[in-house]
Amino acid sequence: MALLVLAMVVQRNLFAVVVLGGIYSFLMATVLVVLDAVDVAMTEAAVGAGISTVLFLGALHLTRGEEAQPLRRTWSALLMAVGVSGALVYGTLGLPAFSDPAAPIHAHVVPRYINEGPKETGVPNVVTAVLASYRGFDTLGETTVVFTAGIGVIALLRRRRNEKKDR
Amino acid sequence: MRDFFVLRVIAKLLIPFMLLFALYVQFHGDFGPGGGFQAGVMCAAAVIFYALIFGLPAARALVPDAVVESMLAVGVLIYAGVGVAGLLLGGNFLDYFVLAADPVAGQHRGIFLVEVGVLVTVSAVMLKIFYMFAGRSRNTPD
């Protein structure tokens, strides 16, 4: 996957970058399956590899296929990226070990979800129970975000058409 | 791509199964992986596939813009409506326990309806964004 990312950075042909991005998403989906997060893997495969690839290709059709050469090298941006990623990596050092049952996040509400969830909601899939029932309000917000994104795209792309009609 | 015989036949064979799988993911989401979001994306992907093979006008005739735009809002309204229904039946907002006589059945019904709302909105948004992008030609003056 690191190789893929390097190839995407070096590659100047945007079509190749989009295809590499799709491959990256599929690899990411397999990683998520290995981590037992099947719901997320499904979303990653469908959205990341499927629909966003199609949308990128659609956008690519409207522009040129080659990435433009930057006017000047921006070393400050590189420094910024390295600094932020260094801080993030440093932050992960403080996290509890992977799948540590004593981690704080597993001690708070998780036992209740796992033990009581199937009884209270009658839904064996804990992910669905948490998403739709316990955290229903969050999911409502999430749906509204998706809705707002759609409205935003409509507003942005449709205005152009009306302007053309006015002329 | 309408001229490619193989693609056309494969698309016709695959699209019903894609939609069927989307419905499976939607309604089996309680027991296996999946749910409204994933199923919505798959529904949209099936229509986008159709548009890629048979052309955008054919897809727009199949699923008109007006339908997509109303689905956009209807999904959120279904979701919020479930919440308001909980309020009217004497519970809290998005309280599913009061939706049926049996609390567990109420939870089931609430989750089911909420997932339908998510499916409708997500599939409509994905499809609408695709329509918007694909509908613009390279020569459109900005």
Q: What number is the ipTM of this complex? A: 0.79
Strand-pair partners of A50: none
Is residue A82 scored above 90 in pLDDT? Answer: yes
Residue B139 has pLDDT above 60, yes or no: no
Q: How many angstroms separate the CA of residue B72 from the nearest CA in chain A?
A: 6
For the segment B114-138, the average pLDDT, to the nearest whole number, is: 85
From the list A123, A147, A157, the residue facing B111 with the nearest CB is: A123
Cβ distance B73 to A147 less than 8 Å, yes or no, reads yes
> Which of B41, B79, B104 is closest, CB to CB, to A51?
B41
Are the beta carbons of A123 and B34 separated by less than 8 Å?
A: no
Nearest CA in chain B to A142: B118
CB pair distance less than 8 Å for B38 and A43? yes
Q: Do A54 and B124 touch (CB under 8 A)?
A: no
The stretch A98-124 carries a mean pLDDT of 73
Closest residue in A to B33 (Cα) is A39
Spacing of C-alpha A14 from chain mean position: 20
- What's the rounded Cα separation, in Å, for the pair A50 and A46? 5
pTM as predicted: 0.78
Inter-chain touch A147–B141, beta carbons under 8 Å: no
Of A61, A143, A154, the CB nearest to B138: A61
> Is 80 exceeded by the pLDDT of residue B82?
yes
Of residues A6 and A162, more confidently modeled: A6
Mean per-residue pLDDT over chain A, rounded: 81
pLDDT at B31 over 80: no
Position A167 scores a pLDDT of 44
Average pLDDT over residues A14-26: 88
* Least reliable range by pLDDT among A8-17, A61-70, A138-147: A61-70
For residue A165, CA distances in Å to A158, A160, B56, B124, B138 come to 11, 9, 22, 26, 18
Question: Rounded distance, CA A153 to CA A155, Å?
Answer: 5
Domain boundaries in chain B? 5-135
B48 touches B83 (CB < 8 A): no
Domain ranges of chain A: 1-66, 125-167
Instruction: Name the band, by pLDDT with cuts 50, 70 and 90, for residue A35.
Output: confident
Give CA–CA dist A153/A145, Å, rounded: 12
Closest-CA residue to B39 (of B108, B99, B140, B114): B114
The per-residue DSSP string of A69-112 comes to PPSS--HHHHHHHHHHHHHHHHHHTTSPPTT-TTSHHHHSSHHH
How many CB pairs lie under 8 A apart between chains A and B? 139
How would you label A59-69 residue by residue, b for 16+ Cβ within 10 Å and e otherwise? eeeeeeeeeee
Note the pLDDT tens digit of each residue in B64-80.
888 888 888 898 888 88
Beta-carbon separation of A133 and B111 below 8 A: yes
**Model confidence at B142: pLDDT above 50:** no
Query: Nearest residue on chain A to B114, judged by CA atoms?
Result: A132
Calpha distance A122→A117 (Å, rounded)? 7
Whether A120 has a pLDDT exceeding 50, the answer reads yes
Chain A partners of B15 at a C-beta cutoff of 8 Å? none
Report the mean per-residue pLDDT for chain B: 83
* pLDDT surpasses 50 at A25: yes
Q: What is the pLDDT of residues A130-162, one digit of tens each?
A: 777 777 788 888 888 989 988 888 888 776 555
CB nearest A50 (choices: B33, B45, B80): B45
